[in-house]
């Protein structure tokens, strides 16, 4: 096989793995009435508490009005709360509620459990090979990301 065929095959394999794992996440999301965009907001707020709507919109590449609708839904579900900034009352910060933190943790935990079940089906050598391949894939992704940041 040449590089082009190897690349295409690797892409197909990665897509297949993600496709196998997605149903777990999708079930959890559906049970709570979440969409991919609302889940992205939850994870962004978990990682960066207090992020204002403008920054959320920028990070997700959507309009401010789109973020307002997404956050409104999450507030109505009791997953996000808004607070005025103490230093600048024009600025509204968004935080996960305890339910929001719990849900983000549940989604992550259930996905982790599913991946652990799959990894447990590998023998020691297979696991080492998968680990090494994933380390290389992650390193390549970080190199591409760093190059993209420099070129912007």
How far, in Å, CA of 140 to CA of 81, rounded?
Answer: 37
Q: H or E segment at 92?
A: strand 92-96
**Has residue 114 got a pLDDT over 90?**
no
How far, in Å, CA of 48 to CA of 114, rounded?
Answer: 26
93, 88, 96: which is closest to 43 by C-alpha? 96
* Stretch 27-50: mean pLDDT: 86
How far, in Å, CA of 14 to CA of 22, rounded?
Answer: 12
pLDDT value at position 98? 97
At 75, list the tokens.
């507030």
| CATH, domain 21-111, list 1.10.10.10, 3.40.50.970, 3.30.1490.70, 3.30.365.10 | 1.10.10.10
Characterize 55-69 residue by residue with b for buried, 16 or more Cβ atoms within 10 angstroms of its Cβ, and e for exposed. Answer: ebbeeeebeeeebee
Sign of the CA dihedral running 119, 120, 122, 127: positive
Q: H or E segment at 148?
A: helix 124-151
How far, in Å, CA of 141 to CA of 85, rounded?
Answer: 36
User: With bands split at pLDDT 50, 70 and 90, how would you rate the model's confidence at 39?
Assistant: confident
Per-residue pLDDT reduced to its tens digit, 43-61 = 999 999 999 999 999 999 9
Bridge partners of 94, per DSSP, are 51, 82
pLDDT value at position 152? 64
Where do the structural domains in the chain lie, given as residue ranges?
21-111, 122-152
Bridge partners of 83, per DSSP, are 93
């Amino acid at each position: 096989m040449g590089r082009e065929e190897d690349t295409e095959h690797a892409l197909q394999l990665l897509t297949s793995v993600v496709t196998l794992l997605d149903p777990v996440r999708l079930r959890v999301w559906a049970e709570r009435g979440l969409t991919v965009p609302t889940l992205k907001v939850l994870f962004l707020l978990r990682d960066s508490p207090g992020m204002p709507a403008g920054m959320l919109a920028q990070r997700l590449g959507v309009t401010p009005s789109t973020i307002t609708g997404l956050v409104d839904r999450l507030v109505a579900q009791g997953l996000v709360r808004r607070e005025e900034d103490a230093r600048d009352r024009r600025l509204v910060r968004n935080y996960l509620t305890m339910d929001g933190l719990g849900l983000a943790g549940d989604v992550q935990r259930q996905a982790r459990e599913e991946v652990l079940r799959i990894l447990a089906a590998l023998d020691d050598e297979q696991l080492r090979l998968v680990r090494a391949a994933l380390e290389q894939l992650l390193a390549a992704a970080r190199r591409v990301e760093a190059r993209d940041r420099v070129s912007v």
